[in-house]
């Protein structure tokens, strides 16, 4: 059946036949539509004119592999490349290669599909998954990392520190008198304070630091390769960045190279509660 007589609405794949020298011998109407070339203009040209230059080597490698074996499973081998239209625009394509032999001439046919729509759907799906993953690791109220992200990052950092032999400091931070604020002014006021604190503290920590909302009014800060005096200064800056009239307590703990992530957090929590106790009872210092 002449492909030019194919009924309207019936999809026809682009079909391009190539001789042993890599020159086009057949170019059907669907190929004309996809690539923007007329048949007479490309027959005799190398198939490479239809492929983006950066994909020439991968294409040659696939064709060499196709002809390197007589195994039947090579027939119908599908590869993805970037096509090039007559106007120079590029698009993703899927090329199914089929081989046969005629006398001494090695011939093959490429069945070509424009997969732009499929790639777009895949890209949108990957972006959606990325956003969902980011949301799953982000505290909705403050925009900081959440408890799940903190647990994952702490374990990764301890593994890196074990290999790199450098210190890791965990700082637990707790807003002072937060319950009293909620009781006196309501949870909306408390939420507003947490959002303000999250925004302020993101501007203070270094790009190498990892800060998370640990839960309630408690925050956790992970400092890699940070000496004690530098950690103390950072805590002072976090204190200074709080809205006027508010303060926080902090507990610091350093990883000893062998304790678990849970033990390290527990040690920082003990230091935090000791800090809160002494702040409430300064005469006991």
Residues identified as active-site? 217
Q: How far is CA 26 from the centre of its chain?
A: 42
- DSSP element (H, E) containing 95: strand 90-102
Residue 34 tokens read as 């996809």
d(C-alpha 173, C-alpha 260), whole Å: 20
d(C-alpha 83, C-alpha 186), whole Å: 61
Got the DSSP string for 205-274?
S-TT-EEEEEETTEEEEEEES--HHHHHHHHHHHHHHSPTT--EEEEEEE--SSS-HHHHHHHHHHHHHH
């Amino acid at each position: 059946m002449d492909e030019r007589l194919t009924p309207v609405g019936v999809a026809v794949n682009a079909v391009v036949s190539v001789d042993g020298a890599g020159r086009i011998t057949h170019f059907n109407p669907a190929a004309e539509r996809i690539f923007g070339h007329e048949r007479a203009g490309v027959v005799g040209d190398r198939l490479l004119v239809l492929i983006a230059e950066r994909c020439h080597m991968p294409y040659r490698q696939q064709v060499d592999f196709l002809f390197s074996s007589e195994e039947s499973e090579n027939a119908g081998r599908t590869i993805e490349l970037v096509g090039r239209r007559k106007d120079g625009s590029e698009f993703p394509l899927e090329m199914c290669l089929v081989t046969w032999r005629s006398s001494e001439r090695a011939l093959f046919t490429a069945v070509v599909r424009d997969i732009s729509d499929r790639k777009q759907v895949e890209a949108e799906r990957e972006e959606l998954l990325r956003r969902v993953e980011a949301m799953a690791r982000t505290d909705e109220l403050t925009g900081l990392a959440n408890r799940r992200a903190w647990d994952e990052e702490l374990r990764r950092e301890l593994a890196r520190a074990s290999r790199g032999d450098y210190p890791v400091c965990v700082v637990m931070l707790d807003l002072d008198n937060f319950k009293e604020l909620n009781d006196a002014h309501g949870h909306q006021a408390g939420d507003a304070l947490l959002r303000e604190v999250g925004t302020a503290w993101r501007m203070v920590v270094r790009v190498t630091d990892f800060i998370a909302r640990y839960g309630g009014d408690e925050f956790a800060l992970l400092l890699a390769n940070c000496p004690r005096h530098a950690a103390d200064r950072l805590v002072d800056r976090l204190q200074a960045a709080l809205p006027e009239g508010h303060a926080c307590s902090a507990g610091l703990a350093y990883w000893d190279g062998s304790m678990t992530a849970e033990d390290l957090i527990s040690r920082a929590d003990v230091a935090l509660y000791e800090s809160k106790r002494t702040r409430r009872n300064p005469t006991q210092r």
